[in-house]
Structure 1
Amino acid sequence: MNRLVSFLSLTAAVCLTNCNSNTDVPANESPAENKSSVAALSYTVVASYPHDTSSFTQGLEFYKGQLLEGTGMEGQSKLMQVDLKTGKASKQIKLDSSLFGEGITVLNDTLYQLTWQNKKVLVYTANDFKKIKEFPLNTEGWGITNNGKELIVTDGSSNLYFYEPSTFRLMRTQGVTEDGSPSVNLNELEYINGFIYANQWQYPYILKIDPNSGHVLGKMDLTQLTTRAKAENPKEQYLNGIAYNPETKKVYVTGKYWPEIFEISFAF
Structure 2
Amino acid sequence: MEHMTSRVQSAPRGAATVSLLTTAVLAVTVAGCSAADEAEPVPDVPVLTAEVLAEHPFDSSAFTQGLEVMPEGDLLVSTGLNGESRIFRAPVDDVTSPSVDVDLDERYFGEGATLHGDTVWQLTWKSGVAFARDAGTLDVTGTASYEGQGWGLCSDGDRLVMSDGSPTLTFRDPATFEATGSVEVTLDGEPVEEVNELECTGTDDDREVWANVWHSDRILRIDPATGEVTGVVDLDLPAGDEDGADVLNGIAATGTDGRFLVTGKLWDTLYEVEFRED
Counterpart contact for 2:196–2:214, Cα < 8 Å: yes
Q: Identity rate of aligned residues, in percent?
A: 36
Bigger drift between 168-177 and 247-256 goes to 247-256
Unpaired stretches in structure 1, ≥5 consecutive residues: 1-33
Counterpart contact for 1:37–1:217, Cα < 8 Å: no
2:91 aligned with 1:83: yes
Partner of 2:60: 53
Bigger drift between 95-104 and 246-255 goes to 246-255
2:122 aligned with 1:122: no
Q: Which has the higher contact order (CA 8 A, sep 6+)?
A: 2
Change (3 A) 1:43 1:203: same
Give, in whole Å, the separation in 2 of the partners of 1:60 and 1:252: 8
Give, in whole Å, the separation in 2 of the partners of 1:138 and 1:206: 26
Counterpart contact for 1:66–1:82, Cα < 8 Å: yes
Q: Normalised by the size of structure 2, how large is the TM-score?
A: 0.80
- What SS does structure 2 have at the residue aligned with 1:40? coil
Partner of 1:229: 239
Change (3 A) 1:49 1:61: same
Q: CA deviation at 1:38?
A: 1.3
Q: Which amino acid aligns with 1:229?
A: A
Give, in whole Å, the separation in 1 of the partners of 2:223 and 2:61: 34
1:67 maps to which of 65, 75, 78: 75
CA deviation digits over 1:161-189, x for unaligned, max 9?
00111111111110010001101110000
Q: Normalised by the size of structure 1, how large is the TM-score?
A: 0.83
- Larger gyration radius, structure 1 or structure 2: 1
Give, in whole Å, the separation in 2 of the partners of 1:198 and 1:190: 6
Q: CA deviation at 1:234?
A: 4.4
CA deviation digits over 1:124-167, x for unaligned, max 9?
11011121000001120000001111110000000100011111
2:108 aligned with 1:95: no
Q: CA deviation at 1:248?
A: 8.3
Give, in whole Å, the separation in 1 of the partners of 2:188 and 2:178: 31
CA deviation digits over 1:84-112, x for unaligned, max 9?
11221222000011000000000011100
- What SS does structure 1 have at the residue aligned with 2:239? helix
Runs of 4+ with deviation above 4 angstroms:
none
Q: Which amino acid aligns with 1:213?
A: T
Q: Number of aligned pairs?
A: 231
Give, in whole Å, the separation in 2 of the partners of 1:36 and 1:264: 22
1:206 maps to which of 211, 219, 223: 219
Instruction: Considering fraction of residues, name the structure with more helix.
Output: 1
Bigger drift between 98-107 and 63-72 goes to 63-72
- What SS does structure 2 have at the residue aligned with 1:191? strand
2:188 aligned with 1:175: no
Unpaired stretches in structure 2, ≥5 consecutive residues: 1-40
Bigger drift between 241-250 and 133-142 goes to 241-250
Give, in whole Å, the separation in 1 of the partners of 2:155 and 2:89: 19
